[in-house]
Amino acid sequence: MSRFLKSAALVLALAVAGSMPASAGKLGLGTPATPEEVAAWDIDVRPDGQGLPEGRGTVAEGEAIFSEQCAVCHGDFGEGAGRWPVLAGGAGSLSSHDPVKTIGSYWPYLSTVYDYVYRAMPFGNAQSLSPDETYAIVAYLLYLNDVVTDEEFELSKENFTSIKMPNEGGFIDDTRPEEPMKAAAEPCMTDCKTDVKITKRARIIDVTPEDEEAAGMSVD
C-alpha cells in the first residue's frame, strides 16, 4: 500500500471512529434511547387499566369517527366489508361449527380493544387517533356489541375497568405443568431439529370458511 493510501485509510478510520456514539457498545451500532423515545413506544394498555391515557369519548362521537375512519373496512355496524374482520355479533356462536369471534363474543378484555385500535388503526394510518378518539371508537364498539346499551354512554379512563366483556369468563389459566407451553424444558440452541413437517394448513383450520367445500374439511 502506498504512503498516500495508508494516510487516507487512517483518516477514514479516525473519521468513522469519531462519528460513532461513545456508548454504542462493542459492535458500534445504535444509540441509547432517550426518555422521550421510550415514552413514545410505551403505549400498551393492560387488563387492569395500567397504561390508559387520560381521555373520554361517547358512543355518538365514536359512531361519527368510526364511520369516517373504520367503516370502509369493517362496515358501518361492524359487520365487516369484503374479507375485513367482523367486529360485532357472534354471540353464542363459539361452540358452533362456524364460530364468529368478535369483540363482543370472544375477546376477554376491553384493554385489548383499546390497545389495538390506538396502536394499529386505522389501517394504513396507525397511531393517528388521539386518546379521546380511541375512547369514543371503543365506546361505539361496545354499543354495537350490546355491552352497553345507552347511546349517551361515555367511556373514560375512570370507568374503563368497570366494563366486563361477555366472554371474560370463557378463558381460564392452563395450570397443567405437563403441557409443552408450561414445561420448563430449555429451548434447543445447538444441533436442533433441521427437518420441518407440516401438520396443518391454515385453510383447513380456518374457523370461518367461506364456502361449503372448505366448511366440510376437517383436521385429524
Domains along the chain? 52-167 (1.10.760.10)
pLDDT of residue 125: 95
Sign, CA dihedral 199-201-204-205, equals positive
User: Residue 126: left (phi > 0), alpha (psi -120 to 50), or beta?
Assistant: beta
Mean pLDDT of the chain: 83
Average pLDDT, stretch 94-106?
A: 92
> From residue 209, how far is each of 73, 106, 199, 219 by CA, in Å?
19, 18, 19, 13
Residue 55 amino acid letter = G
pLDDT in tens, 25-70: 678 888 889 999 998 889 999 999 999 999 999 999 999 999 999 9
pLDDT in tens, 76-94: 999 999 889 999 999 999 9
pLDDT in tens, 110-151: 999 999 999 999 999 999 999 999 999 999 999 999 999 999
